[in-house]
């Protein structure tokens, strides 16, 4: 099993939440995740570009949908976040 970086796990988690089928409390779940991203940024645990990417995923996951190759998905995330951390 591949060891994922914390940023990769955040990308995967945000994508799962955003792509989850609609349910009554989904807007609250997305909002809670968005707040946690801001908290991670304020605590210095993620960079501003990484936070922007995660918030983009939560607000508009459609650009991530259709990405079938995991490595390509990670590369896209890294480019969008302007980092290479996802490959550490």
User: Is it the case that residue 1 has pLDDT exceeding 60?
Assistant: no
CB distance 86 to 2 below 8 Å: no
- pTM score of the predicted model: 0.71
Please give the Cα distance from 56 to 58 (Å, whole number): 5
Compute φ and ψ for 82, nearest 5 degrees. 55, 50
User: Is it the case that residue 81 has pLDDT exceeding 80?
Assistant: no
The pLDDT assigned to 60 comes to: 81
| pLDDT mean over 16-33 | 91
Alpha helices for the chain (secondary structure H): 6-19, 26-42, 48-59, 70-81
Q: How confident is the model at residue 88 (pLDDT cuts 50, 70, 90)?
A: very low
What separation in angstroms does the CA of 57 have from each of 1, 2, 13, 53? 25, 23, 10, 6
């Amino acid at each position: 099993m591949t060891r994922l970086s914390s940023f990769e796990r955040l990308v995967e988690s945000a994508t799962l939440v955003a792509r989850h089928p609609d349910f009554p409390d989904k807007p609250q779940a997305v909002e809670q995740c968005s707040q946690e991203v801001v908290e991670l940024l304020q605590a210095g645990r993620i960079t501003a570009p990484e936070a922007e990417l995660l918030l983009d995923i939560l607000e508009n996951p459609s650009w991530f949908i259709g990405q079938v190759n995991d490595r390509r998905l990670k590369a896209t995330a890294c480019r969008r976040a302007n980092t290479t951390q996802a490959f550490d």
